[in-house]
Amino acid sequence: MDALNENKPSALGIKDKYLAQLHSDFQLLSEIVLSQIKMAATLVHDNHNEEVVSELRRNEKIINSLDVTIKEKVINAIILFTPRALDLRRLMSYHDMTISMERVGDLIENITLALEEMDLSMPGFEKYKKPIDKMFVQTDKMLKSALFAFTGVSNEMAYDTIQMDDKVDKLERKIEKQLASDFNGQAQNTQSLVNMMNLNSISYYLERIGDKAVDMAESAVYLIEGKDIRHVKLPE
């Protein structure tokens, strides 16, 4: 009987393996989303790269599948292991982070569709590439920082991520004002209007990705400190 008990896996071992698999799934989700934003950024300069567009679409399906898998695993873990406070906070943080990551994937898909509709060679649109590039760089930086805060358990990185959001907001407003100034009262052909509307949409989607990175940073703070800082004004 003792020998049988020794060979029987403990509940703790099962839980550890289950949580390790959950973490592995989340890491894969994170890597794919980060690769998505990098690939989408290349379309600003070549929006007819079919290889990149196809890979973006394939990855979006994987993101959606991982979203469902991770959320199901979180629910199952709560039911199976009746986790204590810290483990429960981690599980809920995985759940919230996954929701934000899936939404980032959706926003990148929207950016891809918008870029595909544009004619980047038309006069007047070259100058918008630089600020859009800057928004991609900044949102990529925010996502990486938020993910590091979560996986590295660093509340300092989490708060740094939240402070970065102002730069993305300012770039979005700058593009919006520039578009209004450049095309106000001027007759536009159909493609110019398509370009203008999609540029405005792309800057908005990137600003929303920055907001999702903030949401993830807030989830990291909840995990580390046990505090819900949503809707709380942080010191400058």
DSSP state of 128: G
Q: Which of 27, 41, 29, 60 is nearest to 206 (CA)?
A: 41
Q: How many CB atoms lie within 10 A of CB 155?
A: 15
Q: Which of 200, 202, 138 is nearest to 167 (CA)?
A: 138
- pTM beyond 0.75: the answer is yes
Q: Where do the domains of the chain lie, and which CATH numbers do they carry?
A: 10-225 (1.20.58.220)
pLDDT beyond 80 at 193: yes
When pLDDT is cut at 50, 70 and 90, the band that residue 2 belongs to is very low
Q: How many CB atoms lie within 10 A of CB 180?
A: 11
**What would the mean pLDDT of 228-233 be, rounded to a whole number?**
67
- pLDDT of 4 reads 39
Mark 18-29 as b/e (b = at least 16 C-beta within 10 Å): ebeebeebbeeb
pLDDT tens per residue across span 4-19: 344 445 555 888 899 8
**What would the mean pLDDT of 197-208 be, rounded to a whole number?**
96
